[in-house]
Amino acid sequence: MHVWKSLGERRGLIKKTKAEFSDELPVGESVRQITRRDFFRFSGLGFAAGLAIGCKSKVVEKAMPYLNAQEGLTPGVAQWYATTCQGCSAGCGVLARSRDGRPVKLEGNPDHPLNRGGLCAIGQAQTRGLYDPSRLKQPRLQGQDCAWQAFDADLAKRFAEIKGKGGKLRILTGTLLSPTLKATIHGFLGGFKDGKLISYDALSCAAIFAAYEQTHGLKVLPHYRLEEAEFILGIEADFLGTWINPAGFTRAYASRRGPDNSRPMSKHVQAEACMSLTGSNADERLRLAPSEVVPFLEALASALGSGKSGGDLRKELSTKANALAHELGEHRGSSLVLCGANDLYAQLLTARINHLLGNEGHTVDLSHPSLQKQGDDRALAGLIKEMGEGQIDAVIVVGANPSYDLPEEFSSAFAKVPIRMSLGLTADETAVTCTHLAPDHHWLETWSDAEPVAGTMSLVQPLTNPLFQTRAALESFLTWGGQSSSALEHLREHWRKEVFSRQKVVGDFGTFWDGVLQKGAVQLEGSPTPPAYREDQNASLRARNEAKPGTYELLLMAKVGMGDGRHAFNPWLQELPDPITKMTWDNYVSVSPATAKGLGLEQGDLAALRPQGLPELTLPVVVQPGQDDRTLAVALGYGRKEGAPKDWKTVGTNVYPWRHLASGFLAASSAALQIRRVGGRAELAATQDHHSLEGRELVREMALEPYLRDPASARPHEQPGPSVYGEHPHGKHRWAMVIDLNKCTGCSGCVIGCQVENNIPVVGKEEVAKKREMHWLRIDRYYEGSEAEPKVFHQPMMCQQCDNAPCENVCPVLATVHSEEGLNQQVYNRCVGTRYCANNCPYKVRRFNWWEYPHNSEVERLALNPDVTVRSRGVMEKCSFCVQRLMTAKIQAKNEGRELKDGEAQPACMQSCPAQAIVFGDVQDPDSQISHAMRDPKRFLVLGELGIGPAVSYLTKIRNADSTEAKGGHHGA
Amino acid sequence: MRVRTVALGGAVAFGASLMILAVSVDTKLLGDNSGYKPVQPIAYSHALHAGELKLDCLFCHTGAEQSRHAGIPPASTCMKCHETILNKAGTKPGVSDPSPEIAKLARAVKEGRPIEWVRIHRLPSHVDFPHSRHVNGGVACQNCHGEIQGMERVEQALALTMGECLTCHRTENQKLQLNGKAPMAPTDCSACHH
């Protein structure tokens, strides 16, 4: 199986360098004669050195204990609190680890029914948003910082004016997960004659709402139960990466992957234009231009017996649609068709197809709809119209950045509103145009609640006192509504009145409240029967296909690490390599290999794109295998300028201006897209093409049928090579790890989890371009097969903790030695920076601190984990299996006088994985999860033939396809 | 070039030897702070409290049992007794003058000012020393901190260098192994350096 990592490698364009570090060594510098000045300079050095050696360090350090002992707070002992992530609108349950009164690490809450302990990359990175020195520190009135009292007094005056003349007030928000906040806002609006709340999502699902309103009379987004699905067809829906609830969907999806579960392995087919994370994990993938989504759905519906196909579908797609309809028909009630296009007709078709397949009530849950997207694009369009006509007297923006992520018509209409207020945390694109700024708390320092799926409720509790003079949105609206209770009091009251009665398990409210605070989430009773499906054959909604030959179609998508752009100033997320392209610190236009060839474009060229009638923007080109030939794809969420930290260079290009609301739904312009090459090249910082592993068998896969027939056939034929070394003696534990490639989706939650836990520095774009990124854990992405329709593999790679580690032999100062528990230890204080160990490592997982990567700002330094050394320049570092977490668990067990339980000691990567793809534990315990995984016939070692005995092994990926033969044929452009 | 190197090397050695000569009276290793006996803001006497009154170490230094840091007790711990005990003679008012040190404590609490103790025992930041493991493992405080109960003003008794840690770890492991038990004290680098 010939595996290749990039087009450059496949085409033989990458020159293999002999030396790992390609810079020239500085030898042979010019020499002067020694002068008297030099003599004294150097003897002075010796004098100072002698001084340092001779003197004792007498830096006086003060220790200042509390005046009053804090109950339950022992310095040095971590405290855990359950709260809810607000990194996006999915509302995953989180356990936040607090050290000495400040949160340093977020972990998924295992007791939360949606994410069950997993947390995505964006969620893991949230602590950085709390410790952001560019946050607004106090309210601002007409551009001047002021105190809350003055601010509220001014607002009271203005609100009174509006109420007096019966004026109009609008509140524009992102999806509000908090029922209490929504109720409070409605209470505040009740004081106005014409006050409305309008929600929108930058990554909109409004068409799904509108579709279900027509088919069921219910304006809902169904909760998709992927754990019940045996056959999943995703059409332009990146549900594992960015759509609605990636962590929750991944958990549900992964529970059906892998052939050895009690329930049969699911089959996943994905139809999309640009390679997405979800598409890369599918058993089968089809290329589909955006304009082909509706015809494809029509063909599916028609094959299932409803409606007629439009007739403008490519022959091979219509054949495929028929075949898929047949397969879907075999899984009635246990299939799921997901469509991410924000087009009403497409969603009506999807709703119809799911209904025809009997999926309602099984995989499509309408009794407990999802509340994770609440945006109403039509109401938004109405607001823009009203504002443009000068009808609105005041607009309050909460949890949204509309001047950035909405079409330009919003900004010009917004400017006409006399009172514009933003509750945003930073002086973002919207806030800089506002008259009033009332900055909200960060979610880690506030009281609130969340209801992500109807009936599943959780609380948001603060981990620390507010860092600045900000105020919770809940309190702000209470104050402006004339009430004076605190956020906590109001929240408790709301739960006492509205939530407590919806459950029958606990009789006393106080106990109920404490229970939810402790556990994190509660599932309430009530399972209303949704109304029946109403057939709607409204074909007039079908949008015209505007695609013209010679022009291309635009696909605007979100990246896994960036989402809609609200975390654009989070350096961890900017440096996270995109799971598919492995690009950092940039967005770009993805072009298929055939199209790039036809246009004479190469990776890194600059190209200017222009949808008809919209501004032209220049973007770097990335050639993307597996992309549809007619589609050019660009990621949203980049090009942000306002609210940036000091000295921040703008990252990427903002392509939100290429969206419109013309159809009533936020969508990318479907007008003819032209692309032309402009001179110059962009510096792209990608982490792929590094550490070329010489084409050896690094990933293994098998088809499902042959595996089920004979599981033992999955065993690798090659035996680990011989070794000249004897066995290491092991102590009480021997740690090992197995990564299940069936479950791993490549979401990179583990990468950020590792970065946060281990104080891994961010190096910036230039250094990443020099191959100096510091991530201890990387996800290698391999392609196999043709450029047009490749298969994709994701393989997490970290220090393999080899028994016969090549790095241990070559360290001149014994900074890397083997522990008696099987770990390859890196001792930072011994390391002198020879870098011979990194040279010797065949997996190239050792990272070197080339510079002092400072955490200059006092506020930024609060994000560091105090349990892990912060490494200085000249020190080598690498994955340690989170030895600090292992030590903490062992000390806890020893202090309590008991044995360590299986699963008690978890490295950060294992803990964060939404798919639970990483298994870790003590192989000397025959009953542990890891011992079970070690006996799996699918287990193989990467580079096992070297005989170095890695402690990390992988499980062969099983594809639910007839065979694993790569598709060699091409599909024409 | 060779001449230059030799000359420069000689210069460094000349300077270093000057300095080493100057400090040769004091031959402690870098990082050896034994004998450090700084003046504290309040002249708290362990000899009185731990020695004469026989207060348990863990009565005040509660962190030692649960955390990596033993910590210095918060002022509220002191005030448990010293709210009423104002001097050595006891609580009888008017018997003798109130102790000025207790007065300092009471003033700090009243003004809400934390007491700035001078830290004596300090390991480098690349060492993670868990007090709780040692206390729960049966290591007496005096093993590393010396005979605190006899100190009027606390002095660092041991050098607290890594060599001392390892010596004790190895000795204890040997003792355990001689008694047929598994070694308990880790000697792996990453047990403390992570």
pLDDT tens per residue, range A716-752: 877 777 777 778 888 889 999 999 999 999 999 999 9
Range list of β-strands (E), A316-447: 335-339, 364-370, 394-398, 419-422, 436-437
Are B194 and A891 within 8 A, CB to CB?
Answer: no
pLDDT of A690: 44
Per-residue pLDDT for A625 more than 60?
A: yes
Pick from B72, B190, B192, B193 the residue to mutate for testing the A interface (most A CBs within 10 Å). Answer: B190
pLDDT of A254: 96
Kindly report, residue by residue over B49-87, the tens digit of the pLDDT: 999 999 999 999 999 999 999 989 999 999 999 988 888
Residues in CB range of A427: below 8 A, 6 or more apart: A134, A136, A140, A437, A642, A643
Per cent of chain A over pLDDT 70 is 90
Strand bridging mode A605-611 / A673-681: antiparallel
CA-to-CA dists, residue A246 to A87, A90, A682, A749, A915, angstroms: 12, 8, 31, 11, 10
Length of chain A: 973
What gap in Å lies between CA A512 and CA B107, rounded to an integer?
Answer: 43
Per cent of chain A over pLDDT 90 is 77
Q: How many A×B Cβ pairs under 8 Å?
A: 192
Do A170 and A162 meet the contact criterion of CB atoms below 8 Å apart? no
Are A39 and B11 within 8 A, CB to CB?
Answer: yes
pLDDT of A693: 41
Of chain A, the end-to-end C-alpha distance in Å amounts to: 27
Per-residue pLDDT for A295 more than 80?
A: yes
- pLDDT-wise least confident of A40-44, A382-386, A761-765, A821-825: A40-44
Take residue B137 and report the two structure tokens written for it.
């493992």
Are A75 and B183 within 8 A, CB to CB?
Answer: no
What gap in Å lies between CA A273 and CA B191, rounded to an integer?
Answer: 50
Residue among A591, A628, A564 nearest A289 (CA): A628
Determine the average pLDDT of the residues in A223-234: 96
Contacts of A867 in chain B (CB under 8 A): 128, 194
Do A614 and A539 meet the contact criterion of CB atoms below 8 Å apart? no
- pLDDT-wise least confident of A271-280, A694-703, B169-178: A694-703
Per-residue pLDDT for A694 more than 70?
A: no
- pLDDT-wise least confident of A162-171, A299-308, A917-926: A299-308
Phi, psi of A318 (to 5 degrees): -70, -35
Of A33, A62, A69, the CB nearest to B119: A62
Per-residue pLDDT for A32 more than 50?
A: no
Indicate the SS3 state at residue A413.
Answer: helix
Per-residue pLDDT for A409 more than 60?
A: yes
Banded model confidence at residue A692, pLDDT cuts 50, 70, 90: very low
Determine the average pLDDT of the residues in B100-125: 92
Pick from A68, A831, A888 the residue to mutate for testing the B interface (most B CBs within 10 Å). Answer: A68
Kindly report, residue by residue over A827-861, the tens digit of the pLDDT: 999 999 999 999 999 999 999 999 998 666 777 88
Range among A2-16, A676-690, A760-774 rated most confident: A760-774
Pick from A758, A883, A890, A892 the residue to mutate for testing the B interface (most B CBs within 10 Å). Answer: A883
pLDDT of A798: 97
Banded model confidence at residue A971, pLDDT cuts 50, 70, 90: very low
Per-residue pLDDT for A9 more than 90?
A: no
The identity of residue B138, as a single letter, is: G
Kindly report, residue by residue over A917-960, the tens digit of the pLDDT: 999 999 999 999 999 999 999 999 999 888 899 999 999 999 99
pLDDT of A365: 94
Q: What's the mean pLDDT when you consider all of chain B?
A: 88
Q: Which residues sit opposite A335 in a β-bridge?
A: A231
Take residue A741 and report the two structure tokens written for it.
């490639």
Are B11 and A65 within 8 A, CB to CB?
Answer: no
Instruction: Please count the CA atoms within 13 angstroms of the CA of A513 that sit on its side-chain side.
Output: 14
Determine the average pLDDT of the residues in A492-499: 95
pLDDT of A232: 97
Are B122 and A34 within 8 A, CB to CB?
Answer: no
pLDDT of B175: 94
Of B15, B126, B194, the CB nearest to A880: B194
Are A894 and B72 within 8 A, CB to CB?
Answer: no
Contacts of B17 in chain A (CB under 8 A): 46, 50
Contacts of A799 in chain B (CB under 8 A): none
Do A235 and A206 meet the contact criterion of CB atoms below 8 Å apart? no
Length of chain B: 194
Contacts of A734 in chain B (CB under 8 A): none
Per-residue pLDDT for A885 more than 60?
A: yes
Banded model confidence at residue A972, pLDDT cuts 50, 70, 90: very low
Neighbours of A907 (CB within 10 A): 26
